[in-house]
Amino acid sequence: MGNCFGSEEDVDDISLLRNEESSDDDELRYPPPYMPPYQSDQGEQSQTIYHLSPGQSRTANELTEEEKVRVAQREGLIDHLPRNTWDENHVTNKKVRECCICMIDFEQDEPIRYLPCMHYYHLDCIDDWLMRSFTCPTCMEPVDAALLLSYDSQNLDSG
């Protein structure tokens, strides 16, 4: 809590529906300054969109140098988190069978990712979220603290 004063947007008396349409206009008003030739025949859809935080999205061209570093660092951290595939043969009754991000049941051999708190999600679902916020959606634990701890113990073990 406590951030409500900072977020005084120009919402005013317009309804949520009309507000949403006007944000589409914003995108039209700010086209990417330069479209690399290899993407030009595929249109805007093919551009990778980066999400710096929930609700903040940019194309690669719109990122500042600092943000590009942040994105690369984050991608590196996510890569270090354990991944696995869903195996129906090892599922107990107690186990959660539904990815709480997309609300679709896990299927045999689907890629999943575990967080240090042992909550797990579809790989694509959780990676999409971790790029925006490095927290577990279920328990809200920050992921990086636990990760750094595990790095430290690895270093101690090897030394």
Partner 1 sequence: MAGLPRRITKETQRLLSEPVQGISATPDENNLRYFHVTINGPKDSPFEGGVFKLELFLPEEYPMAAPKVRFNTKIYHPNIDKIGRICLDILKDKWSPALQVRTVLLSIQALLSAPNPDDPLANDVADNWKRNEAAAIKTAREWTQKYAMSGGQ
Alpha-carbon distances of 121 from 36, 40, 76, 82, 150, rounded to whole Å = 34, 34, 19, 11, 21
Positions in 95-114 near partner 1 (CB under 8 A): 100-104
Supply the minimum distance, in Å, between the C-beta of residue 3 and partner 1: 6
From the list 15-23, 71-79, 107-115, 151-159, the region that binds partner 1 by CB under 8 A is: 15-23
The correct pick among 67, 81, 132, 146 for binding partner 1 (CB under 8 A) is 132
Contact between 147 and 114 under an 8 Å Cβ cutoff? The reply is: no
Least distance (Å) from partner 1 to the CB of residue 152? Answer: 27
Tell me, residue by residue from 21 to 50, as one string, x for binding to partner 1 by CB under 8 A and - for no binding. ------------------------------
Closest separation between CB of residue 102 and partner 1, Å? 5
Q: Residue 82: which of 129, 51, 126, 135 has the closest Cα?
A: 126
- ∠ CA 8-10-11, nearest 5°, is 95
